[in-house]
Chain A
Amino acid sequence: MQIRHIFEHLQKDLSSVFFELHEDSPSHGGDPFILVPAMSLLPVCDILKDMQRYDFQCLSNLTAVDFQDHLRLIYHLFSYTHHHSLTLTTSLLPPHYEIDSVSRLWPIANWFEREVFDMFGIQFRGHPSLKRLLLPQHWTGYPLRKDYERMAR
């Protein structure tokens, strides 16, 4: 399924939630993605995983990007049965970087979310054990944010 069709089906299935679809155009390079409000991330993921039409069993990547005024979370989903992929994004506004954890749906998200917490300081609600993954536990600050200043020691 193309991302366009996935989007149209999603709007029918979840009419109450507001979506934004970004498309690939000549002026704008790169992949198309679907922008979901942070509140409705978990219900959308629920549907994407469980409904036979989409059947996204695999979360292939999870990252965050710092755009100075807000943080953005990116979920790359993939389905081995239908061979289609989808990019979900949500925006988080300061000062409360908090979002629901999806580790209940995809167990691999457990480690991905720990890494994002380690590097960006995003709190995941309902995560089994939210600790630092790559850096020592006593570390202060979140290195991959743009305002982190510890480049040269």
Chain B
Amino acid sequence: MSHLLQKWPKNFITKKLARWIHQTHNRFFSCILLGGSTHEINSSYLRKIGVSITTNPRQADILVLSLPLTEKMGRWSRILYDQMPFPKYTIGIGNNSQKGFPEKTYSFCSLEDVGISLNLHVPDALMNTKTLMMAFQQLRNTLSQDITRGEEGEESADKTHF
């Protein structure tokens, strides 16, 4: 690798470009799934696009919410979210994940009450492997755009990788 680098002009691979490659396309994400039909997800497909499913919040980068957020579960997902290391991302799948349920009744709370903000929201979708794969790809794309534009927090990237 080093002899290749010497041939190229000095500033060809900038720090920003390297970070972009590393963070978005080469990085192996691990995620936590919270939701109704999470056992319908085929993890072997996800592994092919570089995402593994974990149960430990300390190892997770992404929290995927696909559930109607109830009072008990809302508090629990906040606990999970607090334990996750930085940088952390959240994906909401389906309409239920943001509001609660089509009808608002006593047992629901919204994401604002819990204090989690979504990085990506996929509305009008069922929770299945296809939707998840699409969502991860979309998250990667948005992340890569943010980094090239320089909008992603510089400190966080520096801390984790460089």
Contacts and interface: CB of A to CB of B under 8 A. Distances in A.
A touching B, CB within 8 angstroms = yes
Interface of A: 134-136, 143, 148, 150-153
Contacts of B104: 151-153
A134 B106 CA distance: 12
A68 to B, nearest CB: 19
Contacts of B72: 135-136
A147 to B, nearest CB: 13
B105 A151 contact: yes
Contacts, number: 18
Contacts of B108: 153
Count chain A CB atoms within 10 A of each CB in B72, B107, B108, B109 and give the residue with the most: B107
A151 B107 CA distance: 9
Nearest to A152: B104
A95 to B, nearest CB: 23
Interface in B79-130: 104-109
Interface string B52-95: 00000000000000000001100000000000000000000000
Interface majority SS (helix, strand, loop, mixed), chain A: loop
Interface of B: 71-72, 104-109
Count chain A CB atoms within 10 A of each CB in B104, B105, B106, B107 and give the residue with the most: B106
B88 to A, nearest CB: 26
Nearest to B107: A135
Contacts of B107: 134-135, 143
Contacts of B106: 143, 148, 150-151, 153
B71 A136 contact: yes
A51 to B, nearest CB: 42
A152 B110 CA distance: 12
A114 to B, nearest CB: 16
A149 to B, nearest CB: 9
A119 to B, nearest CB: 11
18 contacts: A134-B107, A135-B71, A135-B72, A135-B107, A136-B71, A136-B72, A143-B106, A143-B107, A148-B106, A150-B106, A151-B104, A151-B105, A151-B106, A152-B104, A153-B104, A153-B106, A153-B108, A153-B109
Nearest to B71: A136
A153 B69 CA distance: 14
Contacts of A136: 71-72
Contacts of A150: 106
Given A135-B72, A136-B72, A151-B106, 13 more contacts: A134-B107, A135-B71, A135-B107, A136-B71, A143-B106, A143-B107, A148-B106, A150-B106, A151-B104, A151-B105, A152-B104, A153-B106, A153-B109
